[in-house]
A and B are shown apart, each in its own frame.
Chain A
Amino acid sequence: MGDIVAHDEL
């Protein structure tokens, strides 16, 4: 499923 992305956006 791909890398885990940090959600730093709103």
Chain B
Amino acid sequence: MNIFRLLGDICHLVAIIVLLLKIWKTRSCAGISGKSQILFALVYTTRYVDLFFTYVSLYNSVMKVIFLASSYATLYLIYVKFKATYDFNHDTFRIEFLLIPCVILSLLITHDYSPVELLWTFSIYLEAVAILPQLFMVSKTGEAETITSHYLFALGAYRALYIVNWIYRYYTESFIDGIAVVAGIIQTILYADFFYLYITKVLKGKDFKLPA
């Protein structure tokens, strides 16, 4: 564990809490892509099946349980409790276009052909693109609530900090996981446009609106 990874995990946690609080406080999931949240729940479920097989540390296990529980809580809020506020008309990204390539890619490029490893690989590839339905929704409506943009920023910053952590680990431990690194870089690049607008607009107190 190094400071970059810890900061990354904290950003990840903050993102999830911000999203849950936003939905809970406003009693609405307007502007939130339920499809991205389904994909994230799938990411955590397939990655953290190792909770039953490998123990890394108490920190790891607790965080995994939090990520799993919060992702299903988010789905419950969107699809059950505040279903009436769910903006399904704008949440039209076809997730099979992400799921099928991720399944194929995880069968082609993996560290090992064991069920748990294949699920882990799939979860890494899927996480890289899971935000696309949300970004698609923002681009469709042309705007995002400020709190939603904070959520997206924290979620994007998390993987960007992991990249710094991987560079650090490469030099200090000679540790490198090619699959996670390449997927993590792609994941971060997908947020690049958003980061730019967030920094130039939201941090200056303006609304998050895409240029017309």
User: Do B9 and A10 have beta carbons less than 8 Å apart?
Assistant: yes
Given contacts A9-B180, A10-B12, contact A1 B162 (CB under 8 A): no
Cβ of B117 under 8 Å from chain A: yes
A-B interface pairs (CB < 8 A), number: 32
The 14 sampled A-B contact pairs (Cβ below 8 Å) are A1-B110, A1-B112, A1-B113, A2-B111, A2-B178, A4-B112, A5-B111, A5-B179, A7-B54, A8-B56, A8-B57, A8-B60, A10-B63, A10-B67
A2 to chain B, nearest CB (A): 6
Q: Which residue of A lies closest to B54 (CB)?
A: A7
Interface size on A, residues (CB 8 A): 9
The tally of residues in B whose CB lies under 8 Å from a CB in A reads 24
In the complex, whether B64 has a CB less than 8 A from a CB of chain A is yes
- The docked-state distance in angstroms from the alpha carbon of A2 to that of B63 is 28
Complex CA gap A4/B179 in Å reads: 11
Question: A7 to B120, Cβ gap below 8 A?
Answer: yes
Q: Which residues of A contact B (CB under 8 A)?
A: 1-5, 7-10
User: How far apart are the CA atoms of A10 and B179 in the complex, in Å?
Assistant: 14
From 1 to 39 in chain B, residues with beta carbon under 8 angstroms from any chain A beta carbon are 5, 9, 12
- How far is the CB of B164 from the nearest CB of chain A, in Å? 13
User: A9 to chain B: closest CB distance in Å?
Assistant: 7
Q: Which 6 A-B pairs have the closest CB atoms?
A: A5-B177, A8-B56, A4-B112, A4-B111, A10-B63, A5-B111
- Closest Cβ of chain A to B206, distance in Å, is 33
| In the assembled complex, B50 has its CB within 8 A of some CB on chain A | yes
